Amino acid sequence: MILRDVEVGGVGGRDVRIDGGRVAAVGAGLAAGAPDQDVLDGGGGALLPGLHDHHLHLRALAATRRSVPCGAPAVQRPADLDRVLREAAARAGTGRWIRGVGHDDALGGPLDRRRLDELAPHRPARIQHRSGHLWILNSLALDRAGPVVTALAADGLLYDRDDLLHGLDPARPEEEWADVAAVSAALAACGVTGLTDATAGNDAAAARDLARWRAEGALLQHPHLLGGEGVAGARKIVLAEHDLPGLDALVAAVSDAHDEGRPVAVHAASRATVVLALAGLEAAGARPGDRLEHAAVAPPELVAWAARLGVTVVTNPGFVVAHGDRYRRDVDVEDRPWLYRGRAFVDAGVPLAAGSDAPFGPLDPWRSMRAAVDRRTERGAEMGPDERLSPEAALALYTGPATDPGGPARRVAPGAPADLCLLAVPWVEARTALTADYVAATFVAGALVHDGGTTGSDQEHP
Ligand SMILES: [Zn+2]
């Protein structure tokens, strides 16, 4: 296949030949004489390396499609949560669970086992907090989950132990397949050609599932997995706010992974956890490829520390727009200037990349890029204006390699994998809007996985 008249690396009027899943040639006049059916006219649009989402949770994302939405916009006040859960309880078939997501105390009010028992007395129910770090279970769900969970969560609140809930209410395989296909198509419509699944519990079985979905065509993107044993990527270490490990235990975990030849990806959001993560990496000896996930609160001394250790930061600019208004209300005043920083990391020389953290953040990388550039919340409030990135720097958050997020951007050049995002307009125009509406076509390993037409404006995006 030949893409005719595209812009590559800022140079317009190029043709690009794709062969065997790779970019075979970039030049002028390559389309001359080629059969029509093999030529796709780029109309002068920018041809970018396909975007890579460096941190999301594919299974949880797919599961949102068969879950009751318990957060905004459906739920604005406690009475709304009562209503959606009562309706879900009335709908749920015998033996089936009620699975809710996105619960937000500030909107739906406090939720525990007792309230959930009142709303859904006859079906096991589990409702996830919007942070992803907490499940709230009713009594029937606790019964099914058994004594270990019941001992940990007598009031129904189970923090950071998704492993204990595995297999309790499994999706039907064909249902999960269809849900994965739907979210993968939504990602493809945004020009995403690769994703990193950052789920801590990922293991060899999870790697097999993603590989199978990829082979069967449900998953259009190249998967890269972080997690535990049996996955190729970095070892994920979660520093859970309510149950922090001691420094010694963290150093041991980092050293274990390093001894296996694997980098670590340390989930650290608050100021205290970022400090602990950096202390642990320093004591164990940070290696290239070690990453901090989120690093949500990073005052200047911690930015400098990360730079000194050479640690990569995988941030989430989408949270600025999606959660910024809440941060402006709830986050400690002294932490607010240091939230989800961009410019500061780049200026300090910290390799910086981005992920959606979907389903806990917005899926669309263009919306995140826009937030990285304009630093505006949903309601339009400014958040950390000094952290603004240029559109090019925002794009670069998504064009580093899967195994080296924040490393040198992948390029559209002969020999490179044909993982490509074709825009309907040249970059000079795209950079002013940063919208997925401009994604005209997406290729993974040379295969067309999304065809948005040349205008793309009739496409819907997540
Ligand atoms: Zn995450």
Q: Each residue of 403-436: pLDDT tens digit?
A: 999 999 999 999 999 999 999 999 999 999 999 9
CB atoms within 10 A of CB 352: 26
When pLDDT is averaged across residues 99-110 and rounded to a whole number, the result is: 95
Can you tell me the distance from the alpha carbon of 370 to that of 16, in angstroms, rounded to the nearest whole number?
28
Residue 212 pLDDT grade (very low, low, confident, very high; cuts 50, 70, 90):
very high
Place of tokens 């009335």: 90
Residues 290-305, mean pLDDT to the nearest whole number: 98
Pairing between β-strand 291-294 and β-strand 352-354 as defined by DSSP bridges: unpaired
Q: In this predicted structure, what is the pLDDT of residue 123?
A: 93
pLDDT surpasses 50 at 455: no
Helix or strand (DSSP H, E) at 26: strand 22-27
| Ligand 1 center from residue 322 Cα (angstroms) | 15
pLDDT more than 70, % of the chain: 98
The pLDDT value recorded for residue 462 is: 42
Tell me the mean pLDDT in the region 386-395. Answer: 98
Q: Is a pLDDT exceeding 70 seen at residue 461? A: no
pLDDT of residue 456: 38
CA of 407 from ligand 1 middle (Å) equals: 20
Distance 14 CA to ligand 1 centre (A): 39
Task: Report helix, strand or coil for 236.
Answer: strand
The answer to whether 459 touches 437, Cβ cutoff 8 Å, is yes
Q: What is the pLDDT of residue 241?
A: 80
Alpha helices in 240-364 (DSSP H): 247-259, 271-284, 300-309, 318-330, 343-348
How does pLDDT run across 217-234, given as a tens digit for each residue? 999 999 999 999 999 999
Q: Ligand 1 center to residue 128 CA distance, Å?
A: 14
Asked if 435 and 423 count as a contact pair (C-beta separation under 8 A), the reply is no
Give residue 445's pLDDT. 98
Angle between helix 173-188 and 204-216 (nearest 10): 70
C-alpha 200 – ligand 1 centre gap (Å): 8
Edge-to-edge strand order for the sheet containing 134-137? Answer: 68-69, 98-103, 125-129, 134-137, 157-159
Return the domain boundaries, the chain: 2-49+413-451, 62-165, 234-396
Q: How far is the CA of 321 from the centre of ligand 1 (A)?
A: 17
Q: Which fold has domain 62-165?
A: Diaminopimelate Epimerase; Chain A, domain 1 (3.10.310)
CA of 265 to the centre of ligand 1 (A): 11
Angle at 223 between CA 220 and CA 224, to 5 degrees: 165
Q: How far is the CA of 56 from the centre of ligand 1 (A)?
A: 6
State the Cα–Cα distance between residues 159 and 407, nearest whole angstrom. Answer: 34
Rounded to whole angstroms, the Cα distance separating 55 from 319 reads 13
Token pair 């961009």 in the structure block, residue: 342
User: Which is nearest to 76 in space by CA: 112, 113, 103, 101?
Assistant: 103
Residue appearing with tokens 């492993």: 163
pTM of the entire predicted model: 0.93
What is the pLDDT at residue 103?
A: 97
CATH of domain 2-49+413-451: 2.30.40.10
Report the pLDDT averaged over residues 447-452. Answer: 95
Mean pLDDT within 34-52: 95
pLDDT-wise least confident of 9-13, 15-19, 145-149, 450-454: 450-454
Could you tell me the distance, in angstroms and rounded to a whole number, from the CA of residue 198 to the centre of ligand 1? 6
Q: Is 462 helix (H, G, I), strand (E, B) or coil?
A: coil
Q: Which CATH class is domain 234-396?
A: alpha beta
Q: How far is the CA of 115 from the centre of ligand 1 (A)?
A: 28
Q: What is the 3-state secondary structure (H, E, C) of 374-390?
A: HCECCCCCECCHHHCCC
The beta strands (E) that lie in 320-446 are given as 352-354, 420-423, 439-444
Strands 264-268 and 235-238: parallel
pLDDT for 224: 98
Q: What is the pLDDT of residue 259?
A: 97
Mean pLDDT of 347-367: 97
Mean pLDDT of 48-57: 98
**DSSP at 92:** P
Of the two residues 169 and 296, the one the predictor is more confident about is 296
Separation of CA 301 and ligand 1 centre (Å): 24
* Bridge partners (DSSP) listed for residue 19: 22
